[in-house]
Amino acid sequence: MTANPANRKLIALEEHFVHAPILAEHNEVDRALLAPGRVPGLDEIGDIRLEGMDKAGIRIQVLSHTKPGVHEMEDAQRATGLARDANDYLAEAVATHPDRFAGFATLAPQDPQAAVRELERTVELYGFRGAMLNGHTRGEYLDRQRFWPIFEAAAALDVPLYLHPANPHPAVHEAWFKDYPVLGYAPWGYALETGTHVLRLILSGLFARFPKLQMIIGHMGEMLPFGLWRADGRLTPKYPQLGKSVRDTFLDHFHVTTSGVFSTPELICAADVVGWDRLLFSVDYPFESNQLAVEWFDQLPIADSERAKLAWRNAAQLLKLPAA
């Protein structure tokens, strides 16, 4: 069935901005990749963005700071301060357009206790809907127990954490991608990096420790829906202490967005694995086109009930948003 654009409701969950003081701290490669002239719209969360949303028919964007955020900064205190500044900046935009924007907090995991305080502050003061975690933190993956207070706080606050891709670990990039650097980023490396990070979190016992914790991943599941059967069959017997299979842990704790993957076969694969109740529409704006994403959505050969879940119903329930 084809969507009726006049009745369309869309909430998009992985929609990015960049805060100039954080961008100034990035390395030369990321500064070049994220420069405003290279990614138009990344440095703007106001009228121009709203105009693009209106043109495409997107009702709400849930905004988050693009990768790597503050995760690569050595000075934890400065990273924490910049994360707070970015959250205050985002909160102003959300307060100005509360019916069109919502927010995911920027956190500095370098200091987990400070990150917990910032998550609590932004959820309780600003009504943020969770937080975006931009992959590993200076080469440390978040399965390490020193980071677990962040997950504990999210579970207690009943908000999800969105695990976003990071640049591959430097050792991985050197071994796999140095001869073809472009492979290390969005075309391939981001999915490998994030999918592996998800499996590390599962195998660490994090979700057995915090059974109410909910997480989100993008890009149609970072290749995990296709690979989950094999991973489960090889890993679950080796980790009986988890008390639950790798597959069931993934299905119970992760939601998947369509960000940056506007392909029907991949969507059907993801739906067959995770179910329509855990699929969420997203664009990955401004790295991807609002218009292209919505045109694809409008032509999906799915039932109206599935379309409503994907478009807005699941997001509204997970993030406690008004029903678009």
- Residue 13 — φ and ψ, nearest 5°? -100, -20
Q: Tell me the DSSP string of 50-62.
A: HHHHHHHT--EEE
The upper half-sphere exposure of residue 97, i.e. CA atoms within 13 Å in the direction of its Cβ, equals 19
For the chain, the first-to-last Cα distance in angstroms comes to: 21
Q: Which amino acid is at 151?
A: F
Closest CA to 60 of 90, 18, 103: 103
| Residue 278 β-bridge partners | none
Under 8 Å between Cβ of 147 and 163? no
Closest CA to 189 of 202, 216, 171: 171
Report the C-alpha gap between 240 and 244 in whole angstroms: 7
- Cis bond leading into 68, ω under 30°? yes
Under 8 Å between Cβ of 114 and 144? no
Report the C-alpha gap between 118 and 106 in whole angstroms: 8
CB neighbour list of residue 272: distance below 8 Å, 6 or more residues apart: 225
Number of residues assigned to the chain: 324
Name the E strands within the chain. 11-17, 60-65, 101-103, 105-106, 131-133, 161-163, 215-217, 254-257, 279-280
Active-site residue set? 284
Q: Under the phi-then-psi rule, with left for phi > 0, alpha for psi from -120 to 50, and beta for the rest, what region is 139?
A: left
